[in-house]
Amino acid sequence: MVDEHRIFAESLATALTAETDVEAAAVGTVPAAVHQLERAGYDVLLLDVDMAESQTLLTLVRERHGELRPVMLATYDDPRRAAQSLTAGANAWVAKDSSLARLLVVVRGVLREETHVPPALLTGVLRELTHDRRNRTEHQRLVASLTPRELEVLRCMLSGLGRKAVAERLYLSPHTVRTHMQNVLGKLGVHSTLAAVALARRAGVPPAD
């Protein structure tokens, strides 16, 4: 259980531990959660969606703890944020004011590899996921218009390399790299390196090794 409101987190962990088949622990920060996950094995992560680093923790869980099922706890329903969380790897979205019985249903459900979203939120979440999928497809189409060399340059940009570093890595002149970067921005329909990197990430382009 990861929540900045320690009293809430500890109270909920205590209530959950009262169940014969549940053991729970509460922490109040993302770094503490990372440390706790490295120390012991857990099946479910209850995560406050309003924490500043909640999406960062979801990404880390997906990369390092693929067996862990994240459940997002929210103070209010938000289809956009719910869709973002599900896309990032969450298995469920639950209101903080839900009953303990409801939370246990969700926890036990995600352990059976179920996805839980409140019925009233489902239509909005599906709409957001469909919209995201369309955008991703369009972004992938734009990336597909790049030449192999331009794609290499884009992947270097994703790795945070500047023009000089890209030139050294790809054995090109800085002027040639500048031309490739301009072509990348033009084909992607953006006006800055940051925008190009953001679009590439949404399209699923991996950074340079």
β partners of residue 44: 69
Q: What is residue 157's predicted lDDT score, i.e. its pLDDT?
A: 93
Q: Are 205 and 158 in contact (CB under 8 A)?
A: yes
Give 88's pLDDT tier (boundaries 50, 70, 90): confident
* pLDDT score at 141: 87
Asked whether residue 177 carries a pLDDT value surpassing 90, the answer given is yes
Q: Is the pLDDT of residue 134 over 80?
A: no
Please say if the pLDDT value at position 155 is more than 90.
yes
Query: Token pair for residue 77?
Result: 């329903």
Q: Where are the beta strands (DSSP E) in 35-113?
A: 44-48, 69-74, 92-95
CA 176 vs. chain centroid, Å, equals 35
Placement of tokens 């992947």 in the chain:
155
State which H helix or E strand residue 57 sits in: helix 54-64
Provide the phi-psi class of 189: left if phi over 0, else alpha when psi is between -120 and 50, else beta.
left
Which runs of E-coded beta strand occur in 52-135?
Answer: 69-74, 92-95
pLDDT at 133: 73
Q: Which amino acid, residue 198? A: A
In the chain, % of residues over pLDDT 90 = 54
What are the CB-based long-range contacts (under 8 Å, 24+) for 69-72?
69/43, 69/44, 69/45, 69/110, 69/111, 70/44, 70/45, 71/44, 71/45, 71/46, 71/47, 71/106, 71/107, 71/110, 71/116, 72/47
Give the up-direction half-sphere exposure of residue 49: CA atoms within 13 A in the CB hemisphere: 25
**Helix, strand, or coil (residue 38):** helix
Q: How confident is the model at residue 166 (pLDDT cuts 50, 70, 90)?
A: very high
**3 state SS of 33:** helix
For residue 136, name the pLDDT band (cuts at 50, 70, 90).
confident
Report all structural domains of the chain as residue ranges with CATH numbers, in order of start: 6-120 (3.40.50.2300), 146-209 (1.10.10.10)
* Model confidence band, residue 203 (pLDDT cutoffs 50, 70, 90): confident
